A and B are shown apart, each in its own frame.
Chain A
């Protein structure tokens, strides 16, 4: 019932305005605004690089490149979903006091993190070039937008479902936080899945997050698409998309009275 009578163009503008609001609010009064968006993934990657390369002395080929290629899409996914899970509470006045299509609030969080990721792409390319000698590839021009679309479709259903569930049971936001911490090691983000003993590797590869992150790594590190992983991630996105849609129809009308 909320926000009926809006055109698709108006919704697109509203999404743009909501994302711009968060971005400009974040960068106002901060001298190093853009740098802060990059700092988090780099800090993560640096910590694991030190720990694995120098302390545990694991021999992983091109380890710093492997870390960076996965870390940025991971931060988009995990930060986007975690922020979106809280989005109805953070924007309670938009849920309760104005007539707004509610699905747009978690979508704005996912889109906002996507923009951060897109801003970071030149830095990722530069890092791959200077640290790994990988000259930028022309094929990135169409591969990267394709994966941007795939990961948006992959992330948004999760974001919307958790946001809806969190309006009813507030423990969800903590579970999502713990879930991403576990997934960080299981997906895996800090070591290649080939290090997992053969007997268990199959289970690790069933994880759709692994397929999504591996798709990015193959593009960044080899410049090729991996159709198997991408199809698996797309199938997961379609399934969760259906679930999220059903949940939205069932749960969204009442969240105005829960906040």
Chain B
């Protein structure tokens, strides 16, 4: 069976993380030290795959490579080595207001985001009522986006994205800003999406959210996959490691 998301031995290095500037170009710049945030390989030898109708949760500390992995899957950042294959259309919710303009109304922004995601204007128009209904923004849809709270922006973004035709969803830590009821609505929608054979990849630090939606999980540390398997096991081992390494208990464990 072909899996919609397959990564084999992915390696990714940020060759020129900083724009160079003439000064550095002339004087050369020192190689960064190998730490959590400035190591040479942002991703090293990452392999995993996700089946149709499955949700995969990605866990890891800040700087462990989660966002890099999502960017690579989305195609906004190229890989250096390895093989990556994604079947079907990918839609992403990696940043709350990506593609939005603060001065435009919610309605105009919905059209803008839909078009950015690859929808035809006719498609957006045809689905607009459904988008508005899911977002529950009612009359606020005609107010400028700068008057929106983070939760309202998330409602708008999420509602547009789920109405774009996608086979694979990438979601990075944005659901948390919605209120409890809307989060429940999103969770319900994502479960339905899986039932329709959609594939889901979610980055989150909210273990309850991951456990509620995901089937499998992978845990990243310093750009490497340190754990994979059913989500409950990955979460409990991650939590155990995290509390073992917490400053209160053993500050100099590493």
Closest 3 CB pairs of A and B: A97-B98, A93-B98, A256-B76
| Contact status B101-A13, CB under 8 Å | no
Q: Once the chains are docked, how many angstroms separate the CA of A162 from the CA of B144?
A: 33
| Contact status A21-B78, CB under 8 Å | no
0/1 interface trace, chain A 181-200, chain B, CB 8 Å (1 if under): 00000000000000000000
0/1 interface trace, chain B 158-180, chain A, CB 8 Å (1 if under): 00000000000000000000000
Q: Once the chains are docked, how many angstroms separate the CA of A1 from the CA of B77?
A: 9
What A residues does B75 contact at CB under 8 A?
1-2, 4, 99
The smallest beta-carbon distance between A45 and chain B, in angstroms, is 30
What B residues does A96 contact at CB under 8 A?
71, 76-77, 94-95, 98
Give the nearest-CB partner of B14 in chain A.
Answer: A257
| Contact status B104-A13, CB under 8 Å | no
Q: Is B25 an interface residue (CB 8 A)?
A: yes
Q: Once the chains are docked, how many angstroms separate the CA of A258 from the CA of B76?
A: 11
Q: Once the chains are docked, how many angstroms separate the CA of A17 from the CA of B113?
A: 10
**Other-chain residue from A5, A14, A94, A171 in contact with B21 (beta carbon distance below 8 A):** A171
Q: Once the chains are docked, how many angstroms separate the CA of A254 from the CA of B80?
A: 11
Q: Is B188 an interface residue (CB 8 A)?
A: no
How many residues of A are in contact with the other chain, CB < 8 A? Answer: 35
**Other-chain residue from A21, A94, A99, A169 in contact with B74 (beta carbon distance below 8 A):** A99
**Other-chain residue from A14, A24, A25, A171 in contact with B116 (beta carbon distance below 8 A):** A14
Q: Once the chains are docked, how many angstroms separate the CA of A93 from the CA of B98?
A: 5
CB neighbors of A among B47-103 (8 A): 71, 74-78, 89-90, 92, 94-95, 97-99, 101, 103
| Contact status A94-B78, CB under 8 Å | no
Q: Is B22 an interface residue (CB 8 A)?
A: yes
- Chosen A-B contacts, 28 in total, with CB atoms closer than 8 Å, are A1-B75, A2-B75, A2-B76, A4-B75, A6-B118, A9-B120, A10-B119, A10-B120, A13-B121, A14-B115, A17-B112, A17-B116, A18-B115, A21-B104, A24-B108, A28-B144, A93-B99, A96-B76, A96-B94, A96-B98, A97-B74, A97-B99, A98-B92, A167-B19, A169-B22, A253-B78, A256-B76, A257-B16
Interface residues of A (CB under 8 A from B): 1-6, 9-10, 13-14, 17-18, 21, 24-25, 28-29, 93-100, 167-171, 253-254, 256-258
Contacts A98-B98, A98-B99, A99-B74; A17 near B115 (Cβ below 8 A) = yes
Give the nearest-CB partner of A252 in chain B.
Answer: B78
| Contact status B103-A97, CB under 8 Å | no
Q: Once the chains are docked, how many angstroms separate the CA of A42 from the CA of B117?
A: 39
What A residues does B111 contact at CB under 8 A?
17
Give the nearest-CB partner of A169 in chain B.
Answer: B20
| Contact status A10-B118, CB under 8 Å | yes
The smallest beta-carbon distance between B67 and chain A, in angstroms, is 9
The smallest beta-carbon distance between A222 and chain B, in angstroms, is 42
What B residues does A24 contact at CB under 8 A?
104, 108
Give the nearest-CB partner of A17 in chain B.
Answer: B115
| Contact status A97-B21, CB under 8 Å | no
The smallest beta-carbon distance between B123 and chain A, in angstroms, is 10
Contacts A99-B92, A257-B77; A29 near B103 (Cβ below 8 A) = yes
Give the nearest-CB partner of A175 in chain B.
Answer: B22
Q: Once the chains are docked, how many angstroms separate the CA of A215 from the CA of B104?
A: 38
What B residues does A254 contact at CB under 8 A?
15-16, 78
